[in-house]
Structure 1
Amino acid sequence: MLKQYRHIQVAIDGSKEADAAFQKAVAIAARNDADLEILHVIDTRSFQNVSSFDSAMVEQVSKEAETKLKEYHQRAIKAGAKKANYTVEFGSPKTIISHDFPKKKNIDLIILGATGLNAVERILLGSVTEYVSRTAKCDVLVIRNK
């Protein structure tokens, strides 16, 4: 018997793989008449190396993310997802994507692309996708390509 998903989360990071994950998430949400939560996490580690905390820079990054997510939201609605929302979060992508956001929104399926950091960062930090697929409490679908 196939599980029917009600609350689907898709993580967007601007990569081609994330776009493919988005397309798959929209199709699954439309087929299941499910809520689609489009999520982008701004990694706060990227601001740690800035010598003086520049709130204007954070605001600009946040506005750009919001603009991009609005576009994804419109695409989702056009493609048949009836209940789509988008959220920009700040913090650790691993923790937010795998634990915090799913708990807050009662997510039963996480969809994300098989993207990662560059090779050195993957060795030192580990892939977000790998971490999410290993630790999330709900089902995880990793999209490798279109």
Structure 2
Amino acid sequence: MTLPYKQVIVAVDGSKEAEWAFKKSIGIAKRNNAVLNLVNIIDTRSFAAIEAYDRSIADRAERFAGDLLGGYKAEAEAAGVEHVSIIIEYGSPKTVIPRDIAPKIGADLIICGATGLNAIERFLIGSVSEQIVRSSKCDVLVVRTEEHDEQDT
């Protein structure tokens, strides 16, 4: 007997891989009648490259995240997911998702795309999905390819 998932996190950042993860999360949330938590982490490491911290960069990042998650929320609800929440946080996605957000909401599944960083960054610091897999206390689904007409089972 498998236990149903109740709190599902899907990490989205605007990438194609994150979109595939989101699409897969819809079916999982519907089958389990789970809360679908749409999460975007505004990576503060990107601000470190700018000498004089410019608040407008953070504002633009927040607007982008809000628009992105708002669109995904509407799509999930239109597809029949009853409980959808939006979470926007600042920090490093590879630590904030598994160590802060997942325990806070009692997540039992985290879904993320397989890639996101370029090859050199992955070599030096590891991918976000790899770190989430290593440090999560719940199940993690790493989505590698686009979904092709998954049947609800």
TM range (shorter): over 0.9
Q: Aligned AA for 1:107?
A: A
Counterpart of 1:122 in structure 2 is 122
Q: Deviations over 1:101-144 (max 9, x none)?
A: 00111100000111131111111111010111111000001111
Q: Unpaired runs of 5+ in structure 1?
A: none
Tell me, yes or no, if the aligned pair for 2:15 and 2:116 is still in contact at 8 Å.
no
Q: Deviations over 1:9-48 (max 9, x none)?
A: 0000111111111011111101111101000001100000
Q: Distance in 2 between matches of 1:115 and 1:75?
A: 23
Q: Does 1:4 align with 2:11?
A: no
Q: Aligned AA for 2:145?
A: N
Q: Aligned AA for 1:69?
A: L
**TM-score with structure 2 setting the length:** 0.93
Q: Aligned AA for 1:32?
A: N
Q: Distance in 2 between matches of 1:91 and 1:57?
A: 14
Alignment of 1:88-99 (within 5 A): 88-99=88-99
Q: Distance in 2 between matches of 1:134 and 1:95?
A: 10
Q: Does 1:106 align with 2:106?
A: yes
Alignment of 1:64-83 (within 5 A): 64-83=64-83
Q: Give me the CA root mean square deviation.
A: 0.8
Q: Distance in 1 between matches of 2:82 and 2:98?
A: 24
Give the number of equivalent residue pairs: 146
Shift of the alpha carbon at 1:49?
1.1
**TM-score with structure 1 setting the length:** 0.97
Tell me, yes or no, if the aligned pair for 2:112 and 2:142 is still in contact at 8 Å.
yes
Counterpart of 1:62 in structure 2 is 62
Tell me, yes or no, if the aligned pair for 1:27 and 1:80 is still in contact at 8 Å.
no
Q: Unpaired runs of 5+ in structure 2?
A: 147-153
Tell me, yes or no, if the aligned pair for 2:17 and 2:116 is still in contact at 8 Å.
no
Counterpart of 1:13 in structure 2 is 13
Identity %: 46
Q: Aligned AA for 1:65?
A: A
Shift of the alpha carbon at 1:64?
1.3
